């Protein structure tokens, strides 16, 4: 929705997972299970939804500690390099959103990544998808000890961009993440499809 008093955004903030890259932990679950004593479903649940992942994504544990805990729980037989590849090679770029990002850059808008993520995923995405390098800045949960929707992380975005409230336009697929941003006065769109997100941002940018 656009209202008369709405500011033209000065920066666009992108969530990463399910906005710019799709991911599927079942891929990792199958590969890990093939070398462990867990079923693929159990391995997927363990790495994708466990409290362990939250510890990794808040930087409480590093990749070696994460690997050690997975090894202990699943009986994974391989080395850390093999595990890291299995764990991280689960992403695919969402091309219409990568294109939208490139267009916003071309129009001179600063863009930022704001993500709950971990160092293995970030290394993989940075190494494989060139678009990831083309943002003005990155606010990654694993570097700040907090997960969205913790307001502390939104404060980091405001500090890094030097912008606040309706100067920021934020795209995320999770309602709870959007809600916290909206509560701070950011312009938001709940990402449901590239077309709808594009329409929302065009409406916000049009004079
Ligand atoms: Mg997401």
Q: Per CATH, which fold does 11-22+92-205 belong to?
A: Rossmann fold (3.40.50)
Mean pLDDT of all residues in 66-84 = 95
pLDDT tens digits, one per residue of 175-204: 999 999 999 999 999 999 999 999 999 999
Q: How far is the CA of 120 from the centre of ligand 1 (A)?
A: 17
Domain ranges of the chain: 11-22+92-205, 25-88
Q: What is the mean pLDDT of the chain?
A: 95
Task: Give distance in angstroms: CA of 37 to centre of ligand 1.
Answer: 30
Query: What does the H/E/C string look like for 71-120?
Result: HHHHCCCCCHHHHHHHHHCCEEECHHHHHHHHHHHHCCCCEEEEECCCHH
Spacing, Cα 19 to ligand 1 middle (Å)? 6
| Interval between CA 15 and ligand 1 midpoint (Å) | 6
């Amino acid at each position: 929705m656009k209202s008369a008093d709405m500011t033209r955004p000065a920066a666009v903030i992108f969530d990463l997972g399910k906005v710019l890259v799709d991911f599927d932990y079942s891929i990792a679950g199958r590969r890990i299970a093939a070398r462990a004593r867990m079923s693929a479903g159990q391995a997927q649940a363990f790495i994708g939804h466990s409290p362990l992942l939250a510890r990794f994504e808040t930087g409480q544990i590093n990749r070696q500690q994460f690997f050690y805990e997975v090894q202990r729980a699943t009986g994974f037989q391989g080395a850390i390099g093999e595990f890291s590849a299995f764990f991280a090679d689960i992403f695919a770029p969402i091309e219409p959103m990568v294109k939208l990002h490139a267009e916003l850059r071309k129009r001179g808008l600063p863009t930022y990544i704001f993500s709950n993520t971990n160092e293995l995923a970030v290394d993989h995405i940075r190494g494989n998808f060139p678009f990831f390098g083309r943002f003005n800045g990155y606010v990654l949960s694993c570097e700040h000890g907090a997960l969205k929707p913790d307001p502390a992380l939104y404060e980091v975005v405001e500090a890094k961009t030097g912008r606040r409230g309706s100067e920021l336009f934020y795209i995320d697929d999770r309602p709870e993440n959007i809600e916290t941003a909206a509560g701070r006065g950011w312009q938001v769109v709940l990402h449901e499809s590239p077309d709808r997100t594009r329409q929302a941002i065009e409406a916000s940018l049009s004079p």
